[in-house]
Amino acid sequence: MITPIDSFDPINFRHFLHQYPELSHHERQTAALICQQLRQFGLAPKTDLGGHGIVVKFDSNNPGETSLFRADFDALPIHEQACHHYASCHSGIMHACGHDGHTASLMMVAKYLCLHPPITGKVLLLFQPAEETGTGAAAMLQEPWLAQQHIDNVFAYHNLPGYPLNTLVIKPNTFACASTGVTIELFGKTSHAAKPEDGLAPTLAMTEAIKLIQHLPEQFPDVFTLTTVVHASLAATAQGETGFGTAPGYAKVLATLRSDNSHTLFAMKSLIEQQIAALCQQEQLGLEVSWQEWFNAAVNSQPHCQQVIRQARLLALPVNIIEEPMRWSEDVAEFLAKWPGALFCLGSGEQHPQLHNPDYDFPDELIATASQLFCALIKDKHSNVSEMAVD
């Protein structure tokens, strides 16, 4: 699968990635493949940044800005439903979000820069692991070498089903929401089902906890907030035992909280903790609350949005400037919090299967579109007067 620069085929490269997906924090083979391909191009990538992260730098050795372009490469714990020849070989794991396509797009940019290096400044191509868990970017930024870079521009894209193919979707300020998952565990006391009064069932408290979560957005009327209960269960104990003869002594509720800004999400987190704690004190229940997969809001710079829009229009791409942020979250938010830039989307097709679905597959046509737009931004930022064709 590793090929020299003159015969590199990004579609075959993506298909190979798609066949061998790896979950967040376990992307060892994927990272090795990316590094091998970069080395085949004659490059010397920095590896193992924040786990399996990779960065390759193109330095003109002339004054100028420094631009960072990011792609992600982790997969999801979803069983693929597909008939194509490159379907996942790893049962229960698939590229259901298009990170294989994002990586292939950035690899095309690497190929382009090998043939047409920047004339001013520096360009960094960053391949990020663990995007799906919201931990990969922060882990990479803990690496001193990366954290000490003086980045002027950050650009990243995500494919987006539901919009016409190749359409630029962009918004200044908050582009993707902040979000977090919460797990609430309620501990009571079991009893025989014929004598429920001898126990302490968390059934009513679980119902009240769900209501508190569902009504939480009413406490923040002036900003966008959303709560979604994704799981609720009762059992005898935390080990999950159930039986018709036993009244429950344990309950578990999982939910996702979202907002268009990180400060509000922090406030939502604090309020739900207070309200659930008060509920459990009243019901004399034990309580454990834990938080998972925290994502800050991805906030775009207005000038960088305009730069992306200008280059997209020069490439004759349709442009859709949306008014409301995406409800999903993106880990590139950590880079955008440190350095200015823009996250944008490219439409995958109005009828294309949705992200995180078992029938999803990244549209190969987007690889050329994304890489051409990235390369146009590089030419604009780094005075690259070489021919712009992306082979």
Do 260 and 297 meet the contact criterion of CB atoms below 8 Å apart? yes
**What DSSP state is assigned to residue 63?**
S
| Residue 158 marked as a ligand binder | yes
Nearest-angstrom CA–CA distance, 184 and 205: 11
Contacts of 383 (CB under 8 A, 6+ apart): 64, 118, 119, 120
In the chain, what is the straight-line distance between the N-terminal and C-terminal CA atoms, in Å?
Answer: 18
List, in sequence order, every residue forming a beta bridge with 126; answer none if it has no partner. Answer: 55, 70
CB under 8 A, 24+ apart: contacts of 95-98? 95/17, 95/18, 95/21, 95/362, 96/355, 96/356, 96/357, 96/358, 96/360, 97/132, 97/355, 97/356, 97/360, 98/158, 98/159, 98/348, 98/355, 98/360, 98/362
Find out whether 97 is annotated in a ligand binding site: yes
Counting other chains too, the contacts that 239-244 makes at CB distance below 8 Å and 24 or more residues apart are: 244/193
CB 126 within 8 A of CB 54: yes
79 annotated among ligand-binding-site residues = no
Tokens coding 242: 């159930």
Q: Between the CA of residue 25 and those of 29, 30, 50, 76, what are the distances in Å?
A: 11, 11, 10, 11
Cβ atoms of 114 and 373 within 8 Å: the answer is no
- Tell me which residue of 306, 273, 68, 294 sits closest to 171, measured CA to CA: 306
Between CA 133 and CA 59 the distance in angstroms is 32
Q: CA-to-CA distance for 390 and 68, rounded, in angstroms?
A: 19
CA distance 215 to 266: 17
Residue 60 backbone zone (phi > 0: left; psi -120 to 50: alpha; other: beta): alpha
Is 356 marked as binding a ligand?
Answer: yes
- Ligand-binding site membership of 26 (annotated): no
Q: What 3-state class would DSSP assign to 336?
A: helix
Which residues carry a binding-site annotation for Mn(2+)?
97, 99, 132, 158, 356
**Could you tell me which residues are annotated as the binding site?**
97, 99, 132, 158, 356
